[in-house]
Amino acid sequence: MNSVLFLIVIPLLGAFLALFGKKANRIVAILITAFTEIFSIMIYLSDKLPVSVAIGGWQAPYGINFVLTPLSVGFIVLINLAAIISLFIIRGEKEYQFYSTYLVLLAAANGIVLTGDIFNFYIFSELTTFAITALIAYPRNRRSTGAAIKYLILASTASSFLLIGIGVVYKTLGTLNIADIASKIDLLNPLTLELIIVLILTGIFVELELFPFNMWVPKAYFAGTASVNVMLHGMLGTAGAYIIARILLTMFAVNGSGMLVNANIANAIIVIAMLTIFVSEIAAFNEKKLKKVLAFSSMGQMGLIIFGFMIGNEQALTGAFYMVVANFLAKIILFVLTGEFIAMTGSDNWEDMKGIGRKHPVAGVSFVIGSLSLMGVPFFAGFWGKLAVIQGAMSGNSFMITGIVIILITAVVEGVYFLKISHTFFLKKEDEKEFNAKARIHSIVIAAALAVIVLAIGVHPGLIENNVNRATNEILNSTSNYVDVVFPGRY
């Protein structure tokens, strides 16, 4: 299974080649991404999972290893899907820098998910940071440069914390392998453990868009082009969800049961998740820039997902995975369409987007479907996630019950602004002017296709039931499903 390295090496190679390519860059990028996507789907469908791949023959814990489990490969599939879509909706980015950094991002995002080694995790996350910074700054105007610098400063600060955390782990446990750490986590004394967790969490929460670590989010989304938005959301955000599952619920889990080892910090994370949900949904309520609205909503969804992961029972985990999938699909619909709409009207403000839904009903309806799914309305994928998370949280402690109340209250706010915006597209256009640009059919087709999937999962949640169950099962029994894969026979 050493060929799994292709998922990282080929994009990196492509990134190097793109420096010399001219017009062919886009095609090359698409081909590479298509290859990684098809390759990862093939791995996912093959019956060889789970497997640990030692690079260069050096066995774990001394060598570098990649761990391929249903969970990680599933996330790879999602990340590469987002990557392909982000390439298809590119409008105007022709220079090599863009494709080169994009391919680095792809390699890094795949690496984050695949690596079984926390130091490589750090390396890959640094790589994504720089790639994303470059991609945000790509339009080279005041707005994008500012946003990129803001992100860069926050992300670098965070990664220094992450690095210190990893250093402490190495000092105390003498290993950097995630599976190894997971099996030895009980040996640490509580205070050291807490220090490590706080340091590492600080490192990853910036990328996870959690309040108050997320001051970069609205500006970054706002400054980025539509395809960068899809990358930020679909690649970085999805990788973030994987990080929660792997680092928090596998590496720092009690006996591999999917519960964070330190219950107090778990509660603190729930508080942070609740704050994130609350702050982001309220902030989005009165926001006029459509991209910022979506950025806030991304934060909110991330809060919801981490809330679901932190509850720690099977029901909530299932819900959280449903939510990851639903949020992934629905948000991509919205970002793709937003890019089109902004190009059509020449304005960021959703109040100026009247009449689009009348001109392109399919696009309008897809946007509505995406919004409804994010709101957690039945018949759309988001509903099952929300239902299961709330039901799972019911059996939790008082923090979780408070969380439910906050989720339900913010659902009202969220519903109001999403439907308000969705309906604006169906208003009559005031002036008879034509739109600045034409909507591109393939974008609308992508959005519509995703909308159909959202609808299908919503009507028939059994479609992805098996996949979600595999993932849930892996988290809940990480000892047998993850540690045993890396170190056969340790338990």
Phi-psi category of 200—alpha, beta or left, where left has phi over 0 and alpha has psi -120 to 50?
alpha
Indicate the residue among 420 and 442 with the shorter CB distance to another protein: 420
Residue of 213, 335, 367, 482 interacting with another protein (CB under 8 A): 213
Residue 379 touches another protein, criterion: CB under 8 A: yes
Cβ partners under 8 Å of residue 207, min gap 6: 125, 128, 129, 155, 158, 236, 239, 240, 243
Residue 42 touches another protein, criterion: CB under 8 A: no
* CB of residue 246 to another protein, shortest distance in Å: 19
Residue with tokens 């965070």: 158
* CB of residue 123 to another protein, shortest distance in Å: 22
* CB of residue 39 to another protein, shortest distance in Å: 28
Indicate the residue among 51 and 427 with the shorter CB distance to another protein: 427
What whole-number distance in Å separates Cα of residue 393 and Cα of residue 387? 10
What is the residue type of 88? F
Binding mask 101-120 for another protein (x = CB under 8 A): --------------------
What whole-number distance in Å separates Cα of residue 361 and Cα of residue 358? 6
Residue of 39, 124, 211, 341 interacting with another protein (CB under 8 A): 211
Residue 291 touches another protein, criterion: CB under 8 A: no
* CB of residue 267 to another protein, shortest distance in Å: 6
The closest alpha carbon to 111, from 126, 98, 97, 96, belongs to: 126
The closest alpha carbon to 87, from 18, 13, 9, 3, belongs to: 18
Q: Would you say 259 and 253 are in contact if contact means Cβ atoms under 8 Å apart?
A: yes
Residue 27 touches another protein, criterion: CB under 8 A: no
* CB of residue 406 to another protein, shortest distance in Å: 11
* CB of residue 477 to another protein, shortest distance in Å: 17
Residue 309 touches another protein, criterion: CB under 8 A: no
Residue 55 touches another protein, criterion: CB under 8 A: no
Candidate ranges 83-91, 93-101, 326-334, 401-409; the one touching another protein (CB under 8 A): 401-409
Residue 452 touches another protein, criterion: CB under 8 A: no
Of 132-161, binders to another protein (CB under 8 A) are: 146, 150, 153-154, 157-158, 161
Residue 201 touches another protein, criterion: CB under 8 A: yes
Residue 202 touches another protein, criterion: CB under 8 A: yes
Q: State how far the alpha carbon of 298 is from the alpha carbons of 229, 279, 459, 479, in Å.
A: 11, 12, 23, 32
Residue 164 touches another protein, criterion: CB under 8 A: no
The closest alpha carbon to 454, from 309, 282, 270, 330, belongs to: 330
Residue 210 touches another protein, criterion: CB under 8 A: yes
What is the residue type of 270? I
Residue 188 touches another protein, criterion: CB under 8 A: no
Indicate the residue among 122 and 161 with the shorter CB distance to another protein: 161
Cβ partners under 8 Å of residue 275, min gap 6: 211, 212, 303
Helix, strand and coil percent figures for the chain, each rounded to 5:
75, 5, 20
Of 243-272, binders to another protein (CB under 8 A) are: 262, 264-265, 267-269, 271-272
What whole-number distance in Å separates Cα of residue 432 and Cα of residue 429? 7
Counting residues that bind another protein (by CB under 8 A) gives: 78
* CB of residue 372 to another protein, shortest distance in Å: 6
What whole-number distance in Å separates Cα of residue 490 and Cα of residue 180? 10
Of 325-364, binders to another protein (CB under 8 A) are: 358, 361
Of 418-447, binders to another protein (CB under 8 A) are: 419-420, 423-424, 426-428
Both structure tokens of 76 = 């790879």
